[in-house]
Amino acid sequence: MGDTVLSRFSRRTSGGRWIPEVDGLRFLAIALVLADHVAVMLGLAAHRSVVEAPFGSASLPTGLDPLTTIFRQGAVGVQVFFMVSGFVLALPFIRSRSGGDPVDLRRYLRRRVTRIEPPYLIVMLLLLVGASFAGTHVGLGHVAASLAYLHGAYYGTASPLNSVAWSLEIEVQFYLLVPALALLLCVGRRRMRRGRILLLALAAVALQAVGLVTAYTFLGSSIQFFLLGWLLADIYIEDWQESPATARIWDVVAVAALATLVVGLAEVRARPEQALAPWAVFALGYASFRGTGTRRILSIPWIATIGGMCYSIYLVHYPLFVLMSRWLTPVARWPSVTALLVASVVLVPLALAVGATFFVLIERPCMDPAWPEKLRDRLRATRDAVVIVDDPPIVLPDVERVSVSQE
């Protein structure tokens, strides 16, 4: 029974190769992001911060207590998402280099559009309509830039329609860069390939550390996480042959890496954090495959299932949280531990329920690579099935027969 229910919410993979640990990492990433935004909503409810209407970025209050600071550190979940994206997108190119089927770039780009674009557009347009009904005006330029994944590039800020879209804009930049990266990172001997990956990652960190790359909506501010995901994919295919051996020592590494991200870096200044976080994220990803207990936990069916729905949850949760924040005003006055716990109990199940519904109705159908053709065929069949019923023909009386009978 449980497996049947979970199967209705499970993701579809176009290549037929599902790696449960990857969705487990996605679960961890979305859990961290939700924790961050729970803390943000309490700040809004307590009137210690404001949000750009209707669902833009929230201002950052100062003087946070230690627990709230740790919750806010959940923002590193986005960096885990970036690492996972680098891993997943690199796999087909690395498999191709290792003797697998060649990557069809046209199919690759089409898949990105048909898989990612419809859920994004639907959510953003629904938010636009909702904001209009609520009397909140969003400029046409902001709308157009948001729909084109260019709001951060053009305005230098997150979209007011949905603040979390900034990371999706970076994802799109990486999607477009992947084919070119494959030409550089999928050639040569193992040591040379990995040396290039590390060199590019270190160069990105160095440029950020000296302040030459500062825009957080630009790929250059986050590319090291994608690159380290690429490195992990290279190790996964070449060294582990897609079947990594596990050991309990890696569970210790996983716990240490996660603690470093959410606790150890919570009070670190921005630039040192940029230099340290990528390696902690990589260590977490590496240990997720190698840790005996970590791998088992991340592969638990309900964890992997929720992780598979992370895109839908990510798209819808922030506007929901903002709408609900007004109801948290009494809770925001309570002690931090109680307030964060109660707010989490209120907000997180709501995000999961709405996200799961959106996943089943919108995102999961888009996971089928052939959905555009199936939709086209269905529309044609519907059109052909429409029968135009004319008025019944008028039958004229037989004039001669009538005349004879009258005579």
Confirm if 38 and 318 have CB atoms less than 8 A apart.
no
CA 58 to chain centre: 20
Cα dihedral: 258, 271, 204, 263 (round 10): 0
What's the pLDDT score for residue 352? 98
Confirm if 330 and 49 have CB atoms less than 8 A apart.
no
What's the pLDDT score for residue 309? 97
What's the pLDDT score for residue 227? 98
Which residues partner with 247 through β-bridges? 291
Residue with token string 């990510």: 314
Task: Tell me which residues of the chain have a pLDDT lower than 70.
Answer: 1-16, 267-273, 387-407
Per DSSP, the residues of 329-362 read HHHHTS-HHHHHHHHHHHHHHHHHHHHHHHIIII
CB neighbour list of residue 60: distance below 8 Å, 6 or more residues apart: 49
What's the pLDDT score for residue 173? 96
* Alpha carbons 80 and 278: distance in angstroms, whole number: 9
Confirm if 304 and 298 have CB atoms less than 8 A apart.
yes
SS (HEC) of 7-33: HHCCCCCCCCCCCHHHHHHHHHHHHHH
Provide the residue ranges of all domains of the chain, joining segments of one domain with +.
Answer: 2-406
Cα dihedral: 303, 355, 39, 272 (round 10): 60
Confirm if 311 and 30 have CB atoms less than 8 A apart.
no
What's the pLDDT score for residue 401? 41
- Number of Cβ within 10 Å of residue 190's Cβ equals 11
Q: Return the structure tokens found at 123.
A: 């959510």
What's the pLDDT score for residue 6? 61
CA 316 to chain centre: 11
What's the pLDDT score for residue 213? 86
- Identify residue 218 by its one-letter amino acid code: F
Confirm if 346 and 76 have CB atoms less than 8 A apart.
no
Predicted confidence (pLDDT) per residue in 341-373, tens digit: 999 999 999 999 999 999 999 999 999 889 999
Q: Return the structure tokens found at 119.
A: 């859920």
Cα dihedral: 220, 222, 226, 232 (round 10): 120
Question: What percent of the chain lies above the pLDDT cut of 70?
Answer: 89
What's the pLDDT score for residue 400? 46
- Could you tell me the pTM of the whole model? 0.91
* Alpha carbons 306 and 301: distance in angstroms, whole number: 9
Q: Which residues of 156-169 are buried (b: 16+ CB within 10 A; e: fewer)?
A: ebbbbbbbbbbbbb
